[in-house]
């Protein structure tokens, strides 16, 4: 079997309801990111009728993708297998995604709208995002620190996990620590 480090997602998610966006941007800018990107899009979550914990996500954006994730540990979402399937944004329609996942036994469970402020560094990225429901009522604010997927195979799993931990510690000015990482994914928080 191929090395799954290529598909390893290593991330920590924190509640950021108490963190001002301007303070986050100031911290990130001071750290001199390689790239900053602000994006917003709909995320559609589809569940499998035979397994409630299985889901696919379609991100309807300028770079749409269909994603499937699998937990490595039942107790948290800090390390998962994630496979993103890039979609041709010139030809894709939501009805095509719905038909495709429907043929695989999945149906829409919920959708959210996310506004994200992403800062990329060599090995990690930081994201501040706001999640809204279908009526654009704010559901919560979150911070994520994630090892860039293309860096996990280069760093190796142990070094990548250490990079994740040390990068998360840079958020301590927001009273964020490894002890208050969220164990649930957005799917687990908002599924019906």
The whole-number pLDDT of residue 79 equals: 75
The whole-number pLDDT of residue 89 equals: 80
**What are the distances in angstroms from CA 68 to CA 7, 40, 148, 158, 176?**
11, 20, 17, 24, 28
Q: Is the pLDDT of residue 41 over 80?
A: yes
pTM exceeding 0.85: yes
Q: What average pLDDT does the structure give for the chain?
A: 91
The phi, psi pair for 88, rounded to 5°, reads: -70, 110
The whole-number pLDDT of residue 47 equals: 93
Query: What is the per-residue pLDDT across 148-178, written as a single tens digit (0 to 9) for each?
Result: 999 999 999 899 999 999 999 999 999 999 9
The whole-number pLDDT of residue 15 equals: 97
Q: Is the pLDDT of residue 141 over 90?
A: yes
Query: Is residue 124 classed as helix, strand or coil in its secondary structure?
Result: strand
Assigned architecture for domain 4-190? Beta Barrel (2.40)
C-beta of residue 143 within 8 angstroms of C-beta of residue 19: yes
DSSP 102: H
| Nearest C-alpha neighbor of 188 from the set 107, 71, 17, 104 | 71
Domain boundaries, the chain: 4-190
**Interacting residues of 112 by C-beta distance below 8 A, sequence separation 6+:** 42, 43, 45, 131, 132, 133, 134, 139, 186, 190
């Amino acid at each position: 079997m191929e090395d799954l480090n290529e598909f390893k997602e290593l991330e920590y998610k924190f509640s950021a309801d108490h963190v001002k966006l301007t303070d986050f941007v100031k911290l990130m800018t001071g750290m001199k990111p390689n790239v900053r990107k602000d994006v917003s899009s709909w995320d559609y979550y589809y569940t499998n009728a035979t397994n409630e914990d299985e889901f696919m996500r379609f991100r309807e954006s300028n770079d749409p993708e269909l994603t499937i994730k699998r937990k490595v540990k039942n107790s948290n979402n800090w390390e998962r297998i994630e496979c993103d399937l890039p979609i041709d944004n010139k030809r894709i329609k939501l009805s095509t995604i719905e038909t495709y996942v429907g043929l695989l036994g999945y149906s829409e469970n919920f959708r959210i709208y996310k506004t994200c402020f992403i800062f990329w560094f060599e090995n990690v990225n930081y994201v501040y995002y706001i999640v809204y429901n279908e009526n654009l009522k704010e559901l919560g604010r979150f911070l994520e620190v994630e090892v860039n997927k293309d860096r996990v195979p280069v760093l190796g799993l142990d070094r990548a996990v250490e990079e994740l931990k040390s990068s998360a510690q840079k958020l301590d000015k927001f009273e964020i620590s490894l002890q208050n990482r969220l164990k649930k994914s957005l799917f687990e928080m908002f599924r019906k």
